Amino acid sequence: MDIRIGFADTARELVVRSNGTQEELTAKINEALGGNAVVELADDKGKKYIIRTDRIVYVEIGPSKPHAVGFAGV
């Protein structure tokens, strides 16, 4: 799953590719947002991200899309 997190006062977003299911990740993020705490996410390569939730504007959780390589038309 790809998790895109947008923050207040910045045009950049954080993208984390995680192995969890959409339901698990949604529950984890909702719990952290409700308590105005921090959320800890791990990506599929083992890196951990600790994010303060007070500056989060939006969170998008969806399946990862494979990137097309080459010039072949679809």
Asked whether residue 72 carries a pLDDT value surpassing 80, the answer given is no
pTM summary value: 0.79
pLDDT category at 5 given cuts 50, 70, 90 is: very high
Least confident of 11-15, 41-45, 56-60, 63-67: 63-67
Task: Tell me how far apart the alpha carbons of residues 5 and 61 are, in angstroms, rounded to a whole number.
Answer: 9
> What are the boundaries of each domain within the chain?
2-62
Of 65 and 26, the one with more pLDDT: 26
